[in-house]
Structure 1
Amino acid sequence: MDRFTRNYSILLGIAVIIGLFFWAQSVWQPKVWELDEVLTSDPTLIDYPYQFRVRSFEDGTAVISTPRSFDIPAIRFLEIIHPKLAGKAQDDPEMIAAQQDLIDHQKRAMGLILAQDGVDRVDWQLDTQWLADRGVHR
């Protein structure tokens, strides 16, 4: 092996090792897994059609996934998980009850996470992948 190929191989190997180190560091998040376990083991949340998940945790702030935002109204999400609501008005009693149920589950998820040691705040992140899997795009 000539000198250039040897040096190139060594540098390439070092770059791969450094890349693997940073990748492993970003994936290794035991606190996120611990917080997520709180949500996935709660009997009230587990029965809801949407599973709230902890996406990240940094500096006391937990980020939880949500199926709604200002861009994607709750009604669009509710029509997916409750097809019988499709086409109903926002002020329909069934739609209002479904919205309240979503609010109650979202508040429960937030309360469970805020009750954990080290968590000072909860932020919400739109679950674009879940929505996209169901044909909803921003």
Structure 2
Amino acid sequence: MDSFSKKYLTVLVILIVAVVAYNLLGQDERVEAINAMLSADEQLSAYPYQFRVLRIENTTAIVGSPRSSDVSVIHYLRTQFPELSASTVDDPAVMEAQIKLARHQSRAMALVQSTEYIEGVGWELDERWFNERGVFLNF
């Protein structure tokens, strides 16, 4: 490899590393900014589960959720609200708790999507939240 090729390759590698570093650092700042916005929202901050962006993939924000296809909403509700642990799924208190969760999750999604660089929201089960409460999920 001649001298020019080595210099060209070196510059190319430096540029690639710079672009990757810029994207990773920029993403962290965007995640932090959105999470600060979510934390500052009076309605969301009053709810026991704190919605937060875990990461950004292209123009989609991946947001933590206490429910998924693997973990039912009732499992979350009984963990978050121990007074509901003996309640049936059709108990009015359980149904109201589900409605409140859905309202807060919808509000979190709307706020996240209101940022100029986010076009969609994906949800990911927040296993850490369960683990912090001594609930270890096995899939």
TM-score normalised by structure 2 residue count: 0.78
Specify every segment of 5 or more residues in structure 1 that has no aligned partner in the other structure, as ranges: 1-20
Partner amino acid, structure 1, of 2:125: L
Letter in 1 for 2:38: L
Shift of residue 27, structure 1, vs aligned partner: 6.7
Distance 2:70 2:104 in 1: 20
Equivalent residue of 1:129, what SS? helix
Kindly tell me the number of residue pairs found equivalent between the two proteins: 116
Residue 103 of structure 1 is matched in structure 2 by: 102
| SS of 2:63 mapped into structure 1 | strand
Classify the secondary structure of the residue corresponding to 2:115. coil
Amino acid at match of 2:116: D
Amino acid at match of 1:52: F
Segments of 4+ moved more than 3 angstroms:
25-28
Within a 5 Å distance, the mapping from 1:47-58 to structure 2 comes to 47-58=46-57
Structure 1 position 132 matched with structure 2 position 102: no
Rounded to whole Å, the distance in 2 between the matches of 1:65 and 1:58 is 14
Please give the alpha-carbon distance, in whole angstroms, between the structure 1 residues aligned to 2:47 and 2:94.
16
**Residue 61 of structure 1: aligned partner:** 60
Partner of 1:15 in structure 2? Answer: none
User: Percent identity over the alignment?
Assistant: 37
Distance (Å, rounded) in 2 between the aligned partners of 1:27 and 1:119 = 16
Question: Equivalent residue for 1:86?
Answer: 85
In 1, Cα distance between the equivalents of 2:115 and 2:132?
31
What secondary structure is seen at the aligned counterpart in 1 of 2:50?
coil
Offset at 1:79? 1.1
Q: Which residue of 2 aligns with 1:70?
A: 69
- Aligned-residue RMSD, C-alpha: 1.8
